[in-house]
Amino acid sequence: MARSGRLDLLMARYNAAHLGDEKEVFPVAQQLRLPVFAFTALRWGALIRPAPEEPPGTELPSPADCYRFVLEHPAVSVVLMAPGNRT
Protein backbone atom coordinates (compact mmCIF):
# COMPACT_ATOMS: atom_id res chain seq x y z
CA MET A 1 0.00 0.00 0.00
CA ALA A 2 2.85 2.39 0.84
CA ARG A 3 4.31 1.98 -2.62
CA SER A 4 0.97 2.87 -4.26
CA GLY A 5 1.66 6.59 -3.90
CA ARG A 6 -1.82 7.09 -2.47
CA LEU A 7 -0.77 7.66 1.15
CA ASP A 8 0.44 10.77 2.90
CA LEU A 9 1.62 8.84 5.97
CA LEU A 10 1.57 5.42 7.58
CA MET A 11 0.15 4.63 11.00
CA ALA A 12 1.68 1.63 12.74
CA ARG A 13 1.54 -0.10 16.10
CA TYR A 14 5.09 0.04 17.39
CA ASN A 15 6.60 -0.48 20.83
CA ALA A 16 9.28 -2.55 22.53
CA ALA A 17 7.04 -5.65 22.29
CA HIS A 18 5.90 -5.14 18.66
CA LEU A 19 9.06 -4.85 16.58
CA GLY A 20 7.92 -6.42 13.29
CA ASP A 21 7.52 -3.05 11.58
CA GLU A 22 11.27 -2.47 11.91
CA LYS A 23 11.81 -5.09 9.21
CA GLU A 24 8.58 -5.01 7.22
CA VAL A 25 7.28 -1.43 7.19
CA PHE A 26 9.89 1.10 8.29
CA PRO A 27 12.46 0.40 5.54
CA VAL A 28 9.81 1.00 2.85
CA ALA A 29 8.56 4.14 4.60
CA GLN A 30 12.09 5.50 4.86
CA GLN A 31 12.83 4.71 1.23
CA LEU A 32 9.68 6.56 0.16
CA ARG A 33 10.19 9.33 2.74
CA LEU A 34 6.71 8.52 4.06
CA PRO A 35 6.15 9.69 7.66
CA VAL A 36 5.23 7.02 10.22
CA PHE A 37 2.82 7.83 13.02
CA ALA A 38 3.24 5.23 15.77
CA PHE A 39 0.69 4.27 18.41
CA THR A 40 0.44 1.98 21.48
CA ALA A 41 3.91 2.92 22.76
CA LEU A 42 2.91 1.61 26.19
CA ARG A 43 1.25 -1.53 24.78
CA TRP A 44 -1.99 -0.50 26.49
CA GLY A 45 -0.07 0.00 29.75
CA ALA A 46 1.39 -3.52 29.83
CA LEU A 47 4.97 -2.30 29.39
CA ILE A 48 4.82 -0.18 32.54
CA ARG A 49 3.11 -2.78 34.77
CA PRO A 50 4.89 -5.84 36.16
CA ALA A 51 4.02 -9.11 34.45
CA PRO A 52 2.88 -11.90 36.79
CA GLU A 53 6.19 -13.74 36.31
CA GLU A 54 8.34 -10.66 37.07
CA PRO A 55 10.49 -11.03 40.18
CA PRO A 56 9.68 -8.49 42.89
CA GLY A 57 11.70 -5.31 42.51
CA THR A 58 12.17 -5.61 38.74
CA GLU A 59 12.76 -2.13 37.35
CA LEU A 60 10.12 -1.25 34.76
CA PRO A 61 10.36 1.40 32.07
CA SER A 62 8.57 4.67 32.67
CA PRO A 63 6.01 5.96 30.18
CA ALA A 64 8.63 8.48 29.04
CA ASP A 65 11.07 5.61 28.40
CA CYS A 66 8.49 3.87 26.22
CA TYR A 67 7.71 6.96 24.18
CA ARG A 68 11.43 7.73 23.86
CA PHE A 69 12.07 4.18 22.58
CA VAL A 70 9.49 4.66 19.82
CA LEU A 71 10.66 8.15 18.88
CA GLU A 72 14.30 7.05 18.66
CA HIS A 73 13.57 5.02 15.55
CA PRO A 74 14.46 7.21 12.55
CA ALA A 75 11.37 6.10 10.60
CA VAL A 76 8.98 7.37 13.29
CA SER A 77 7.85 10.97 12.90
CA VAL A 78 5.13 11.09 15.56
CA VAL A 79 4.01 8.91 18.43
CA LEU A 80 0.37 9.25 19.42
CA MET A 81 -0.98 8.99 22.91
CA ALA A 82 -4.38 9.23 24.54
CA PRO A 83 -5.58 9.63 28.11
CA GLY A 84 -6.64 6.51 29.95
CA ASN A 85 -9.61 8.30 31.47
CA ARG A 86 -11.28 11.71 31.63
CA THR A 87 -9.24 12.82 34.66
Number of C-beta neighbours around residue 84 at 10 A: 9
Alpha-carbon distance of 17 to 9, in angstroms, equals 22
Flag whether 85 is in a domain: no
Alpha-carbon distance of 53 to 55, in angstroms, equals 6
Q: pTM for this one?
A: 0.88
The number of folded domains in the chain is 1
Flag whether 45 is in a domain: yes
Encode the chain (87 residues) as per-residue pLDDT tens digits.
889 989 999 999 999 999 999 999 999 999 999 999 999 999 999 999 998 898 988 999 999 999 999 999 999 999 999 888 898
Flag whether 30 is in a domain: yes
Flag whether 84 is in a domain: no
Alpha-carbon distance of 27 to 34, in angstroms, equals 10
Flag whether 39 is in a domain: yes
Flag whether 31 is in a domain: yes
Flag whether 87 is in a domain: no
Phi-psi region of 58 (alpha: psi -120 to 50; beta: other; left: phi over 0): beta
Q: Residue 33: which domain range? A: 2-51+58-79
Phi-psi region of 33 (alpha: psi -120 to 50; beta: other; left: phi over 0): left
